Structure 1
Amino acid sequence: MTIGNDSDSFVAARPAPDDASTQGATERAKQAAGTAAEEGQHVAGVAASEAGHVADEAKSHVRQLVGEATSQVEDQSRTQKDRLVGSLHTFSDDLEQMSSDRSGGLAAELVQEVAQRARALSANLEGREPRELVDDLRRYARRKPGTFLLGALAAGVVVGRLTRGAKAAQSSQTAAPTPRPQAQPPVSGDGVPVSIPLADPETSDPLVEPLPADAFRIDSPSAGRP
């Protein structure tokens, strides 16, 4: 039979695989995989760099906002401190004026001592920054918390009373009563005041009994002359 021979000849006729082409396809696949990996690494690097730039910009913006807020708070604190220093100067001047007006004695000495302490406090506040004052208060509160709380309470009471007194004085000045004009009695044509008799409230009822007919009679000085 020739079947076996034909199959052998067909198998023999098939071309053998080329080792060079197989190796080339493998190399191309490896190159494609390497290129894809490099592209992925590049994209990841670009994304990480952009994220770092965004984070740096956000941090810079936050620092700028914090700096502006701190600057505004310091400016407001400095303004309040200057107002307090001015008030202490005025207070000490008033106390010194009061002590000088007094003839002497224990009261004058006490007023003078308070004026000196107020002036020393204003001088201490005037030469320092608000941040330094806050740090001093924090250190003092850590050392003596009880004394600090009592002092803060006393200061709050004094400030509240001064504020209420100032508001009361301002309201009393704005709501001062205006004097009413006094009513003048009616006069006649000759310039003589007219007298109107009043009814007795115990014997008369103003809603029932009318006034007499001659209630509005005008007595002229020339009526009795010939």
Structure 2
Amino acid sequence: MHLDSSDGPVRLDVAAVVVDCDGLLMDSESVWLQMVEQWLAEHGECDQDAYDFLGLSVDDTALRLLEAAGCSAGGDSIAAGELVAALSARYSGLLTAAVRPMPGARELIASLAGTVPIAVASNGSRQDVTRLLDQAGILAMVETVCTIEDVVRGKPAPDIYEAALRRLDVDPMRAVALEDSPHGASAARAAGLTVVGVNPDPTIEIAAHHRLGALDQISVIEPGRVAQGWSR
């Protein structure tokens, strides 16, 4: 794998690639942000930004939203479990065929699929993630999809990445994670993967080993041309 990073070209000897879904493969993160922003607006003013919820599971999002609502006099007493169900239903309803793959996502996965095993690791529900990937023509090109139903803890805990690597039977030191959010990058890094952060917004800090602005800065090198060794 070749990275055209801001620090110069980087070559990685890759045995497996684990990728996030929302905001990395699919342009669905804007839907999530819109939903969170609406909820915050409906439940009073507090010192909370919707971007703070990027990459979190719906369970963790619900808990933090309730904490945010408690910052105002109009805080809602809705139970966390009820909010999880409400958020999940609202998000699933907002996901339509209008959600498109991120630029270069389908092409990158297609090029990787012929060289290394690929897993998707997402805090989303299996129903939502597989539906999005299937609509985009990506689902059939990956070996496995790990979602929040497969683990006890979502990102930023490393559980989803650890589950994906077990399914692929690959050592984390030989795997690369592609992530666009701080929470996702923290999860992958805690699991021992080399993290490539892909986000065009330089103000969003991502704990990545390598930082890119777009997926088209990643290319696949034929196995015989990959440099020996591991670059982190």
TM-score with structure 2 length normalisation? 0.21
Richer in strand (by share): 2
TM-score with structure 1 length normalisation? 0.21
Richer in helix (by share): 1
